[in-house]
Amino acid sequence: MSSSLLSPSALNDQLDSSAAPLLIHVLSDEAYDEKRIPGSVHACVYEIAFLDKVAELQSDKASPIVVYGLNDSFGAAALALERLNAAGYFDVHAIEGGLDAWLGAGFSTEGEGETASLIKDGSYPLDMEKSVFRWTGRNLFNQHNGRIAFKSGNLETKEGHLAAGSVVLDMTQITCSDIKDEGMGKYLINHLGSDDFFSVPNYSEAGFQLTEVRPLEVMGPGDSNLLVSGVMTLRGKEQPIEFKAQETFLGGQLGLQGQFEVDRTQFGSVYGSGKIFEKLGQHVVNDIITVSFQLICPVV
């Protein structure tokens, strides 16, 4: 079984020959659209169906295959080699230095360029089914968590990235996820809807407005890449908020996920607050509510 590194120059010579190998770009769909070696086919090594896709492209396991990722500092090409070898492919190679080395050697590429990973400027409504808003509240010995339904929302982009947005929450649609007893769960939801907490009969909507978005330096794609500022509205009162968030644009979907803390007493919810009432004992309820969200917008 042959598995080794192949220099960009050696690959270029092979591609010009009558016995050219199958050349596979193994990164994501977006990376393939952005930049690839001419003549490349695509099979993403991050997908479970990677080997099935390769089998569709090349059923003869003795035929030569060359795979490549971005460079040798990352592991996509090595992972592809490992999986192909384990699957019984006999003549598998990776480009030494990957796509970066190919470019460094002066060879051409094709694709849409950086515009492939940029979002078109516009305003995009939330996908209500895919988007999620979660809450977590705590007392001395316990915590509860659940969701609040969206009423409306949108994200706005400018120059290829998130620039603003807004979310309106339907406070009549609060749920609790951790209490399994139906009666206890209903009791908690009714209490949350009362004037002790969110005063839902008087303020059926809440939400937040994103007014400023600044990019952050990040260690990797999974890190927060934005610092978002805006205004939170709850019980008819407004308070400034600021939090780190992660913007993503994949598969025609714009996503924003983040987490921040809300001091409920700033909005007039003072039930069980130790800074408002004395000697509460076991009736203390934490002032801070933790909020996390995932906003998804289809981008046409």
Neighbours of 224 (CB within 10 A): 16
DSSP type of residue 207? E
Average predicted confidence (pLDDT) for the chain? 92
| Inter-residue contact 231 to 265 (CB < 8 Å) | no
| Inter-residue contact 139 to 289 (CB < 8 Å) | no
Here the tokens at position 159 are 């120059």
| Inter-residue contact 54 to 79 (CB < 8 Å) | no
| Inter-residue contact 32 to 112 (CB < 8 Å) | no
| Inter-residue contact 234 to 200 (CB < 8 Å) | no
Q: For residue 124, which phi and psi values (nearest 5 degrees)?
A: -125, 125
Rounded to whole angstroms, how far apart are CA atoms 233 and 149?
15
| Mean pLDDT value of segment 256-277 | 96
pLDDT at 221: 65
pLDDT at 1: 46
Whether residue 300 has pLDDT greater than 80: no
Rg (CA), the chain: 26
Whether residue 116 has pLDDT greater than 70: no
Same CATH fold assignment for domains 2-114 and 122-298: no
**What is the fold of 2-114?**
Oxidized Rhodanese; domain 1 (3.40.250)
Residue 294, classed as helix, strand or coil, is: strand
Q: For residue 58, which phi and psi values (nearest 5 degrees)?
A: -150, 105
Rounded to whole angstroms, how far apart are CA atoms 257 and 255?
7
| Mean pLDDT value of segment 265-283 | 94
Rounded to whole angstroms, how far apart are CA atoms 155 and 166?
7
pLDDT at 115: 59
CA distances 83 to 31, 69, 76, 146, Å, are 20, 14, 11, 41
Q: Can you list the alpha helix ranges (DSSP code H) found in the chain? A: 8-15, 29-34, 50-57, 76-86, 98-104, 182-193
- Nearest to residue 65, comparing CAs of 121, 6, 110? 6
pLDDT at 276: 94
Domain covering 122-298 assigned CATH 3.40.50.970 in the classification: no
| Inter-residue contact 155 to 162 (CB < 8 Å) | yes
Q: Strand 65-68 vs strand 288-298: parallel, antiparallel, or unpaired?
A: unpaired
Q: Convert the pLDDT of each residue in 130-185 to its tens digit.
A: 999 999 999 988 999 999 999 999 999 998 889 999 999 999 999 999 999 999 99
Helices (H) and strands (E) in the chain, counts: 6, 14
Here the tokens at position 24 are 């596979």
The residue ranking higher by pLDDT, 218 or 47, is 47
| Mean pLDDT value of segment 102-120 | 82
Q: Give the start-to-end residue ranges of the domains of the chain.
A: 2-114, 122-298
DSSP type of residue 110? B
* CB-based burial label for 135 (10 Å; 0-12, 13-18, 19+): buried
pLDDT at 249: 81
Rounded to whole angstroms, how far apart are CA atoms 260 and 166?
15
pLDDT at 272: 95
